Structure 1
Amino acid sequence: MALLHHPTPPHIWTGRPSESIQYWHQAVTCVDNLHIDQPANGKGVAILGYAGDEGVRRNLGRTGAAKGPEAIRKMMGPMAFHLPEDVGIYDMGDIITEGEDMESSHSLISKTVTELLQNNYFPVLLGGGHDLAFAHGRGILEYLIPKSEKLGIINLDAHFDLRELNSGKGHSGSPFFQLANDYQSNFHYLCLGIQQSSNPKVLFETALKHKVRWLEMEEFTLANWETIAQTLDDFCLQVNKIYLSVDLDGFSSAYAPGVSAPSPLGFSPELAFRIFHYLAKTGKLISMDIVELNPVFDNDNITARLSSKCIENIVRKLF
């Protein structure tokens, strides 16, 4: 298992020099292993990368997302730091996929997420393909189910990601199908930004079978905020904790060109940030990931910058 973990070289986190902590690169501590004690003051953020492309390859997408975590870190480093200084920020490094063995990396991710939650950290996972959501969600559920707490999954995405397995194997289009089948009555899923052109009829049928709730792209606009807020209210009131997954291909490619499956249609950063604000205010947000950044196809790091700003916006509002 040790070979699946690569610590982050501290030089990845760079930015302006300052005598006090003014920027993210100054606030982040890179750690050499996946086991860290509880934060001294009870407040901690753990950043964990998933440098994996195998799930995208299995789903016939364009590969390159394995480089996503490093690109996000490089864009986060120079950002202004507005969290309280007593919040510990730890970079746990990357979990990688060796060859085609995506399942071993998934197992290590799940185990690490469970341990981070047990130690009172807010995990921030960087993708990597969206197959990460299966490993991430499993780790959260294994933490919450013994506590009899109900998890709600909110996915900002153009796709349901409820596709069936490919020759018995998971992929970047199947994470929520896997969670639905493995956890059944513990599966509660809301997907925001669904595009009909990206989801065949069978996926809508699968969504109905698993009692998934969703809003389609045409409904998911700032002008329709009252309906969105009501949908969020109804969903969040029925769960104890929330796991947020942000698939960058849900944004219009005007904002996120560097993804596996770009589309000129999609939601705006302004709407996504309004969702982040809502979720932070619930007090139920327990973990998040941001996935499908593909630096190979990015333009002037636009998508990586958007990713870093999404993360900063969420964690700043949590603390």
Structure 2
Amino acid sequence: MKNHKSTPPLFWKGRQADTIQYWHQKVRCVEDLKINLEKYSENLALLGYAVDEGVRRNQGRMGASSGPDGIKNVLGSMAYHLPQDINLQDFGNIIMEEGDLEEMHMLTKSTITQLLGKNYFPIILGGGHDLSFPHGSALIDHLASTGQKLGVLNLDAHFDLRPLVNGKAHSGSPFLQLLEYAIEKNTTLKYACMGIQNAANPISLFETAKNNNVSWMASEHCNLFHWDKSALFLKEFLDEVDKVYLTIDLDGFASAYAPGVSASSPMGFEPSFALQVLEILAKSGKLISMDVVEYNPSYDIDLTTAKLAARCIEYTLRKIYE
């Protein structure tokens, strides 16, 4: 398949051990996107979205297409603390070798739909945040017959509620697209954001958020000093939904912790705050999938951002199974 690239098994590497002690020993690489469920109690799927055309369309700096492999490279050397009987597979990367962004969205959505249908917990690595439209729409379709309400929690400096440009999607439009898609499918979607920065979102986007019943917390309140307010925000969000899709845009972190992103800022939350949020979501029993987006290795320093992304993934999964 021209728009899919499998991960070579030798890509996953790290310290050697006689038993499974590290991620690189546990991950198994899948050659294609034909998803066959095996006899495991739990199934985790890593899938890269190595596409940053949406970032280009949104006038961001390019380089996030290299993000998935950058995150996987760090994950491989991390200590493994998940149950031994989990099926942990790397389904490679969706790449934009030919076609347009809309075709990549269709391929991404169909792949995630297959994973959900086979009882996998998808962990998607970006790539641009336009990923959230195919990811979220796959979840909406998956839950359509269950009557369950989907909630999207976005850790991000931006609402990403911008309209299409010349009828085309971009990394700033996915959640407006998702809200419209939910209406089209005659279902409800709860969208909430933590980390919103006023300087990064014009008044028009705050109006769009209000008109679409979006809940948000401003960046200046996303810290442990204001944790009571954050905990209440999360409780109200979780009480309103049945399943949760978590999306982490690394530019929600201050650039001291995440320099390697598509749109960096010296403002933003700290890892200690994010981990508290991730633990609450993981232990809610409602988390159905997650992604980490906008990692741009071209601007990273000492793999700081890649390590942060990998730690967010590892911490969330570990807390689910504790």
Alpha-carbon separation, structure 2, partners of 1:224 and 1:145: 36
3-state DSSP of counterpart to 2:166: coil
Q: What's 2:42 paired with? A: 43
Alpha-carbon separation, structure 2, partners of 1:59 and 1:30: 33
Alignment of 1:41-120 (within 5 A): 41-98=40-97, 101-120=100-119
Q: 1:288 aligns with which of 287, 290, 300?
A: 290
Paired residues of 2:56 and 2:62 also in contact (CA < 8 A):
yes
Letter in 2 for 1:225: W
Paired residues of 1:39 and 1:120 also in contact (CA < 8 A):
no
Q: What's 1:129 paired with? A: 128
Any idea what the Cα deviations from partners look like across 1:50-83, whole Å, max 9, x if unmatched? 0001000000000000000000011011100000
Could you list the runs of 5+ residues in structure 1 that have no partner in the other structure? none
TM-aligned CA deviation for residue 99 of structure 1 = 5.0
TM-aligned CA deviation for residue 182 of structure 1 = 1.6
**TM-score normalized with structure 1 length:** 0.98
3-state DSSP of counterpart to 1:133: helix
Any idea what the Cα deviations from partners look like across 1:9-44, whole Å, max 9, x if unmatched? 112210011110000000000001112222412301
Amino-acid identity (%): 51
**TM-score normalized with structure 2 length:** 0.97
Alignment of 1:145-224 (within 5 A): 145-184=144-183, 185-224=187-226
TM-aligned CA deviation for residue 115 of structure 1 = 1.3
Could you list the runs of 5+ residues in structure 2 that have no partner in the other structure? none
3-state DSSP of counterpart to 1:131: helix
Any idea what the Cα deviations from partners look like across 1:140-196, whole Å, max 9, x if unmatched? 111011221110000000000000101100000000011111213522100000000
Paired residues of 1:8 and 1:91 also in contact (CA < 8 A):
yes
3-state DSSP of counterpart to 1:146: coil
Alignment of 1:1-12 (within 5 A): 2-12=1-11
TM-aligned CA deviation for residue 98 of structure 1 = 3.2
Letter in 2 for 1:22: Q
Alpha-carbon separation, structure 2, partners of 1:30 and 1:68: 18
TM-aligned CA deviation for residue 4 of structure 1 = 1.1
Letter in 2 for 1:244: L
Moved over 3 A (4+): none
3-state DSSP of counterpart to 2:116: helix
Q: What's 1:225 paired with? A: 227
TM-aligned CA deviation for residue 100 of structure 1 = 6.2
Alpha-carbon separation, structure 2, partners of 1:99 and 1:224: 47
The root-mean-square deviation of aligned C-alpha atoms, in Å, is 1.0
Alpha-carbon separation, structure 1, partners of 2:114 and 2:197: 35
